[in-house]
Chain A
């Protein structure tokens, strides 16, 4: 791992470890979504198997946005971003470190949330359960990668929190669709999720590459 990337990553993890801001807000929000959906829909019977994938993805998505909105807050405060722009290290390494850090935060939330999710929705996995260990990280990476990029893009905007949701959600739709469909396929065992997983992986490769290539441009924009 390049030295600057590692330096940025350690810094982000250290700061989050001291405050736990992102993880606690995401846990609270996603927990609320799971509970509210379980109240709104009868979680018993086969219907819960059908909607559970969607609920999990939507809970992750909304929870992540609360953290993504704050992803650059520490850099904006006290103009730390200007100091970052003055160092010779590549901006793309800062971007990638932020994506990895936030990916880890969301994954921690998913790991904590998963048992409650299975209890609330009375779920049992009918398909290949291990595939969830592939689908959830791929979907989370798609969400976080785009989220960090567009959060940086909207830094100088007055309504940046609103703007992030407005840009991120439409662009995330293909990944969300693939994530929901593959999760539902795995839970119900009705169909083969392979195609959706491939689509998710393709989405990740394309958008991560594009973000890495474009990040320096938006990072050094006035």
Chain B
């Protein structure tokens, strides 16, 4: 567990969890987790199934509220107050099967009034997809859906990017391309949090590796990023 940040550094963190616990009935998915996430860093969350990785991400996204403890993002705000500044990609695509990739992205871009989003064509090219594909998303392969899903979260250029198992259903080459894209994205002083079972794929951008076990922080160690 990381020690709480000094008072002066608080304003400079992307996210801060203070003794956060999350209960689902009598089951504790997270227990007393305290972590500070700094801007411009990539954090890789590892741990077995049920360790609490996805729950932690959903709490950071504001989709879940902690049962105990506090979560603050971008200074002193709660995640649900600044949703437009947070990007969350789940292991499900979070897109409509009946629409094409470009239609899906245009739809979501229109729901961010006042925020300058990347154009759907540009962001689809960035993730390595042909923006002119006229097939509905339901006819895409799992890997292509995953890329479209990544395009959706990158489009509003979030300052805190939360990716839940982004490499699942992806071949190694595509995963490397995604890591390079994320490395470029991080250079804009943006924070990335990735949960994965494939630690080696995320290693090139992992500034810190956080291991969870049974809802507790087991270790929090610096990584050795190469990108």
Contact = CB atoms under 8 A, between A and B. Distances in A.
Interface of A: 3-4, 7, 11, 14-15, 18-19, 74, 77-80, 82-89, 220, 222
Interface in B87-109: 87-88, 90, 92-99, 103, 107-108
A88 B96 contact: no
A14 B61 contact: no
Nearest to A222: B64
B98 A78 contact: no
Contacts of B84: 87-88
Residue with the highest number of chain B CB atoms closer than 10 Å, among A18, A74, A82: A82
Residue with the highest number of chain B CB atoms closer than 10 Å, among A19, A80, A82, A83: A83
12 contacts: A4-B111, A7-B107, A7-B110, A15-B99, A77-B97, A79-B92, A82-B63, A82-B90, A84-B111, A89-B111, A89-B113, A222-B64
Contacts of B93: 78-79
Nearest to A18: B98
B112 A11 contact: no
Contacts of B98: 14-15, 18-19, 74
Q: Which 4 A-B pairs have the closest CB atoms?
A: A83-B94, A87-B111, A79-B92, A88-B84
Nearest to B106: A7
Interface residues of B, number: 30
Given A4-B111, A82-B90, A83-B88, 17 more contacts: A3-B110, A3-B113, A11-B99, A15-B96, A74-B96, A74-B98, A78-B97, A79-B93, A83-B94, A83-B95, A83-B108, A85-B83, A86-B86, A87-B111, A88-B115, A220-B80, A222-B64
Interface of B: 61-65, 80, 83-84, 86-88, 90, 92-99, 103, 107-108, 110-113, 115, 136, 152
Contacts of B86: 86
A56 B112 CA distance: 42
Given A86-B63, A220-B80, A79 B110 contact: no
B108 A88 contact: no
A11 B87 CA distance: 22
Given A86-B63, A86-B86, A222-B65, A80 B94 contact: yes
A195 to B, nearest CB: 42
A194 B96 CA distance: 44
A89 B156 CA distance: 13
A80 B111 CA distance: 13
A77 B137 CA distance: 13
B156 to A, nearest CB: 8
Nearest to B162: A86
Contacts of A4: 110-111, 113
B83 A80 contact: no
Residue with the highest number of chain A CB atoms closer than 10 Å, among B86, B112, B152: B112
B111 A14 contact: no
Contact of B111 (A77, A88, A220): A88
A199 B96 CA distance: 39
Contacts of B112: 87-89
